[in-house]
Amino acid sequence: MQKSADSFLRALFQSAVDRADPRSVLAHALPPQPTTGRVIVLGAGKAAASMAAALEAAWSCPLEGVVVTRYDHGLALKQIELIEASHPVPDTAGAEASARILALAESAGAEDTVIFLASGGASALLSAPADGISLDEKRSLTSALLKSGASIHEMNAVRKHLSAVKGGKVAVAAAPAKLTTLAISDVPGDDPDVIGSGPTLPDASTLADAKAVLAHYGIVPAPSIQARLNAPEAETSKPGDPVFENATFQMIATPQASLEAARDMVIKAGLSAPILSDRIEGEAREVAKVLGALALATSATGDPFSSPAVLLSGGETTVTVRGSGRGGRNVEFLLSLAITLDGAEGISAIACDTDGIDGSEDNAGAIITPTTLARAKTLGIDAQARLADNDAYSVFAALGDLVVTGPTLTNVNDFRAILVGGEFG
């Protein structure tokens, strides 16, 4: 086998990203092209621009609409307007884009078709707050939730009840037009109403759920937010509401499908390729200890998996920020994994966010090898101390082991591959 472990792991990550590229998968999921009425295209997320571009390429009919994506995630579009805004902490551009999306949805008539393009990041980008809540108050709460270690499900339960757009409100605005949502999943379990906080779907979470999340993490919201969560009329539309009768939903890319694309490449290389799970959650450093133990056991005994192998997994871990360093959940996972493996021979790994951005840094993730800790020590880096300070980014930057791709214009969450054994040059 001619490839190095490093290049092989990078190729696996790229195969996962390619499988989720909207320009490859969206056209196959589209309904028949409308022949009457307006076609209004709305959307939000890190893949919004590439999804809109794919739609423009697939349909020849006139299109109108607005999509919002993260800064520096744009593409040139011909008919659909693109707005860039802040992620993960909301800003005014996102709030203004949200208001325009809602207004366009409200303008749709019964003879019109509304296509909503949803992908990871939509929750932060659709930032228009509900009546009575300021954007600064919502931004402050979002920052607190990001630092708390709350899961994406917990965060979105709160977001839906504080938003003018999320929790089914776009569907309510668009009715009775025909509404089709095409989505790229970035959430463990692919729950449709969690992707982008479900702007076109009924909401199974409740005001009580949102209040329980804040209480669990000791977050005291602004009085206006507390008042909103205590107001029965602020409850979101639930499953069974007739407003959703003319709405359909289809997933076009998922974490599992991307892991399967990587698995196909591993098998072609002659290695076993167990997919551990596409929905792993929990503290990144703790997840690393578990997966590291599996890798060590596989290397030493061939059990639970035969070696050589690549242990594949996805999902969305969290980081409870206690230090002051530069991090990201994938690099934090990898630094903890390197400490767990302690230089074990024949084990290397990659962990990257498929959107190309690990948290708020400029990297997708990083790579570790059996020499990671030794090289760090040579540079005077105390790996344990850096992990305690949530400073994994700085470690991998010093080692030259960051994976930097730039925005990939898609997002199916984290991708992890642990290579155990194998003949690599």
Asked whether residue 171 falls in the same domain as residue 244, the answer is yes
Q: What is the pLDDT of residue 2?
A: 35
148: which 2 tokens?
Answer: 């708390």
Asked whether residue 153 falls in the same domain as residue 268, the answer is no
Asked whether residue 160 falls in the same domain as residue 239, the answer is yes
Confidence bin at 360 (pLDDT 50/70/90): confident
Please state, rounded to an integer, the average pLDDT across all residues of the chain: 95
**Beta-bridge partner residues of 417:** 312, 350
Residues 172-179: what's their mean pLDDT? 97
End residue of a domain, out of 201, 231, 253? 253
Sign of CA dihedral 264, 310, 297, 313: negative
> Is residue 47 assigned to a domain?
yes
Q: What is the pLDDT of residue 355?
A: 94
Asked whether residue 148 falls in the same domain as residue 119, the answer is yes
Confidence bin at 71 (pLDDT 50/70/90): very high
> Could you give the strand order of the β-sheet that contains 178-184, starting from the edge strand earlier in sequence?
81-85, 64-70, 39-44, 113-118, 178-184, 247-253
Asked whether residue 31 falls in the same domain as residue 143, the answer is yes
Residues 382-398: what's their mean pLDDT? 98
CATH no. for residue 308?
3.40.1480.10
CATH no. for residue 233?
3.40.50.10180
Asked whether residue 85 falls in the same domain as residue 189, the answer is yes
Confidence bin at 359 (pLDDT 50/70/90): confident
Asked whether residue 75 falls in the same domain as residue 169, the answer is yes
Tell how far CA 97 is from the center of its chain.
20
Q: How do beta strands 365-368 and 402-403 pair? A: antiparallel
CA distances from 115 to 32, 59, 174, 205 (A): 12, 12, 10, 24
End residue of a domain, out of 225, 253, 281? 253
Range with the poorest average pLDDT among 151-160, 226-235, 387-396: 151-160
What span, in angstroms and rounded, lies between the C-alpha atoms of 61 and 115? 13
Question: pLDDT at residue 425 above 80?
Answer: no
pLDDT above 70 covers a percentage of the chain that reads 99
Q: How many domains does the chain have?
A: 2
Asked whether residue 191 falls in the same domain as residue 283, the answer is no
> Is residue 425 assigned to a domain?
no
> Is residue 45 assigned to a domain?
yes
In 196-308, beta strands by DSSP E: 247-253, 275-280
- The DSSP line for 202-231 is -----HHHHHHHHHHTT----HHHHHHHT-
What span, in angstroms and rounded, lies between the C-alpha atoms of 289 and 283? 10
Q: What is the pLDDT of residue 147?
A: 87
Cβ–Cβ under 8 Å, residues 202 and 235: no
Confidence bin at 163 (pLDDT 50/70/90): very high
What residue numbers bound the domain in which 154 lies? 21-253
Q: What is the pTM of this model?
A: 0.89
> Is residue 48 assigned to a domain?
yes
Cβ–Cβ under 8 Å, residues 278 and 248: no
Tell how far CA 124 is from the center of its chain.
11
> Is residue 229 assigned to a domain?
yes
Residues 331-352: what's their mean pLDDT? 98
Asked whether residue 285 falls in the same domain as residue 308, the answer is yes
Q: What is the pLDDT of residue 424?
A: 65
> Is residue 228 assigned to a domain?
yes
Residues 360-366: what's their mean pLDDT? 93
- pLDDT tens per residue across span 214-255: 999 999 999 999 999 999 999 999 999 999 999 999 999 999
Question: pLDDT at residue 422 above 90?
Answer: no
- pLDDT tens per residue across span 249-302: 999 999 999 999 999 999 999 999 999 999 999 999 999 999 999 999 999 999
Confidence bin at 3 (pLDDT 50/70/90): low
Asked whether residue 62 falls in the same domain as residue 30, the answer is yes
Cβ–Cβ under 8 Å, residues 247 and 200: yes
Residues 73-92: what's their mean pLDDT? 94
> Is residue 353 assigned to a domain?
yes
Asked whether residue 213 falls in the same domain as residue 327, the answer is no
End residue of a domain, out of 218, 253, 288? 253
- For 45-103, what is the HEC assignment? CCCHHHHHHHHHHHCCCCCEEEEEEECCCCCCCCCCEEEEECCCCCCHHHHHHHHHHHH
Asked whether residue 125 falls in the same domain as residue 164, the answer is yes
